[in-house]
Amino acid sequence: MSAPETDAVRIVRLAWLRLPPAHRSLLEAVGASQWQIVTGPIGSIADDMLRSAGQLGLLPPARSRLDGALGAWVPGLQVLLINIGHPAIAGLDTQAHEAFVAHIAWHEWGHALSLARCSPEDVAAGDKLLALAPEGISEGIRSAGYGAKNYTHEVVAETYALMMARRIRGHRDKPTWLDDEIYNLLKRVTGWVD
């Protein structure tokens, strides 16, 4: 394993340990407690891993979409993949690199909890949740080209990552920028507690 990969493993392990114990238990229960650091396109790597595990690989559009991702939880493998070779990570200073890699991990863990624990009604409310989300979150989701069926999961994932970063800085209350409906969904899906 290269030095950057070893460092990323350390960062993700620390991000994991910073999760509240109840959140780690939920992630273990949904099969999202393992991770792997990679240095290439996630879609292709996930496809190869699925096929080598005797499962169906990803469909070409899904593989292509994931190839550009920074991270992804692959439910069929029960593993979180983080691509530290992604151009968005290259060139970051040490502090920014650590914060960004931790953010990717928290986002993907939030995504895993959302996929496993959101109800069909929650998913159907994606358009509404996206409209209620802070502009930075909603704009990021729209610009990434996610379809409406993914809005709820992306809102939960990004909000969870931001809330974890706030928690690390000592802020445990509900931020003023977060709508009550999103906050209540986050609490129900992820087990978030002030």
| 83 in the same domain as 2 | yes
Residue 113 placed within a domain: no
User: Based on the domain organization, do 146 and 189 belong to the same domain?
Assistant: yes
Residue 186 falls within a domain, yes or no? Answer: yes
Classified as helix, coil or strand, 71 is: strand
Position 1 pLDDT exceeds 80: no
Angle, CA 98 vertex, CA 95 and CA 100 arms, to 5°: 105
Report if residue 104 sits inside a domain: no
For residues 20-35, give the mean pLDDT.
94
Q: What is the pLDDT of residues 133-172, one digit of tens each?
A: 999 999 999 998 888 999 999 999 999 999 999 999 999 8
Of 92, 126, 147, the position where a domain reaches its end is 92
Evaluate whether residue 112 is within a structural domain: no
The beta strands (E) that lie in the chain are given as 35-38, 71-74, 79-83
Q: Please indicate, yes or no, if residue 107 is contained in any of the structural domains.
A: no
Nearest to 18 by CA among 175, 174, 169: 169
- pLDDT for 13 equals 97
- Considering the domain architecture, whether residues 133 and 68 belong to the same structural domain is answered as no
What CA–CA distance (Å, rounded) separates 97 from 125? 34
Residue 61 included in any domain:
yes
Same domain, 76 and 1: yes
| CB-side neighbour CA atoms (13 Å) of 8 | 28
Same domain, 65 and 10: yes
Tens digits of per-residue pLDDT, 51-71?
999 999 999 999 998 999 999
CB distance 131 to 178 below 8 Å: no
Confidence of residue 90 (pLDDT cuts 50, 70, 90): confident
User: What single-letter DSSP state applies at residue 144?
Assistant: T
pLDDT of residue 76: 86
pLDDT at residue 91 above 90?
A: no
Answer yes or no: is 142 within a domain.
yes
Amino acid 25: pLDDT: 96
Exposure b/e, 92-101, CB count within 10 A at least 16 = b? eeeeebbebb
pLDDT surpassing 80 at residue 98: yes
How far is Cα 150 from Cα 153, in angstroms, rounded to an integer?
Answer: 5
Both 78 and 125 in a single domain?
A: no
Do 88 and 123 sit in the same domain of this protein? Answer: no
Boundary residue ending a domain (92, 127, 161): 92
- Number of separate domains in the chain: 2
Q: Are residues 3 and 52 in the same domain?
A: yes
DSSP secondary structure of 77-130: TTEEEEETTSTTTTT--HHHHHHHHHHHHHHHHHHHHHHHH--HHHHHTHHHHH
Domain C-terminal end among 74, 92, 110: 92
When pLDDT is averaged across residues 116-134 and rounded to a whole number, the result is 96
**Residue-range definition of the domain harbouring residue 194:** 118-194
